[in-house]
Amino acid sequence: MRLGIFWFGYPARSPYEIEIENYRRRVCRRWPAEDHPLRPHGRGRKDEPSKVRVHEAAVVRGRHPRGWSLMALDEAGRTFSSQAFADLLRQKELEGRTGITLVIGSDLGLDQGLLKEADTVLSLGPMTLPHQLARLVLWEQLFRATDILGSGRYHRDGDP
């Protein structure tokens, strides 16, 4: 199974990017994984937000590989414990999924149509996070899932 995180924005030299790359490389020990920045809609907030979201959804659909599972991140999505998230990824693996695309929308969010098409709508929590921080948390949780599934020692489930 492969993983791809699609997000709208521009990579910037920052400590976030260094840590994201560190976690991405660790995830690759189990699953090939790529981080894909997508160009935000050119007019951004100058255009009607719903039109921007529709345009960005079309970009995601054009890049989302056929046969891959689609997971969309949205504040109204379902929250998972780290263990439950690892179990979800394992289930996708057991289903024989070629890969999973995880999508983080622009600052305007994701199109409702794309959210309905997603196999899973995932929330990192009810707080709004900057995109770089949301990506970092997502990559860390993906690494944590690989550790849980591989019986590693990184994840602690609360037992002393």
Q: Is residue 109 part of a domain?
A: yes
The count of domains in the chain is 1
Strand order through the sheet with 99-104: 33-38, 2-8, 99-104, 69-78, 120-122
The answer to whether residue 160 sits within a structural domain is: no
Res 158 pLDDT > 80:
no
Residue 160 has pLDDT above 60, yes or no: no
Query: What range does the domain containing 31 cover?
Result: 2-149
pTM: 0.91
What is the per-residue pLDDT across 52-101, written as a single tens digit (0 to 9) for each? Answer: 999 999 999 999 999 999 999 999 999 999 999 999 999 999 999 999 99
Instruction: Evaluate whether 53 touches 108 at the Cβ level (below 8 Å).
Output: yes
Domain CATH number, residue 93: 3.40.1280.10
In a domain, residue 155? The reply is no
C-alpha dihedral over 35, 24, 108, 117, to 10 degrees? 70
pLDDT reading at 24 higher than 90: yes
- Domain contains 14: yes
